[in-house]
Amino acid sequence: MAEQGPRFRRRGGEDLGGSLEYGLRKQILLAEYRRGLKMLDELCDAHPDLLRAARHKVGRAAETNCPICEVEQLWLVTYVFGKGLPPGGTCPGTKGELQKLLRRPDEVQCFEVEVCSACAWHHLVRRYPAGGIVPRKRTAR
């Protein structure tokens, strides 16, 4: 049965290991695409928030061009999950918002996603913790 929901594959929702693995997943996805096993609309369906952030250049430029349309430089956009944030995470739309999120006293999990603002390709690149800047006593159990 087709699932209705946000058009953002939350590959980050599970614990996926390191960036090496993400890179491997990308190679597999692209190989499947080239063999016709994956449709373009399965790969190029970045959430509007991701596209907006990429267009506003929130994050940093990737060193590579988009593997699908090959003309657009990829942009590395960060999705942030954490306490007090929406359950689906939040994608800051400005650099200031991003900095604010990364400096939260509570720890957040960041998912850096490469996004093509031309064709909407997106892929999780790495995951890293941020925030927790203010030293706080943790409630130990």
In the complex, least distance from residue 39 CB atom to Zn ion, rounded to whole angstroms: 15
Task: Return all residues near 65 (Cβ < 8 A) that are at least 6 apart.
Answer: 71, 72, 73, 74
Residue with tokens 């800047």: 133
Which of 54, 66, 98, 101 forms a contact with Zn ion (CB under 5 A)? 66
Which of 16, 29, 69, 102 forms a contact with Zn ion (CB under 5 A)? 69
Which of 53, 58, 76, 119 forms a contact with Zn ion (CB under 5 A)? 119
In the complex, least distance from residue 51 CB atom to Zn ion, rounded to whole angstroms: 11
**Alpha carbon 46 to chain centroid distance?**
9
How far is 100 from 4, CA to CA, in rounded Å? 32
> Residue count at the site for Zn ion (CB under 5 A)?
8
**Alpha carbon 54 to chain centroid distance?**
11
User: Please, which residue, 66 or 110, has the CB nearer to Zn ion?
Assistant: 66
- Asked if residue 82 lies in contact with residue 104, where contact means CB atoms within 8 angstroms, the answer is yes
What is the binding site for Zn ion (CB under 5 A)? 66, 68-69, 72, 116, 118-119, 121
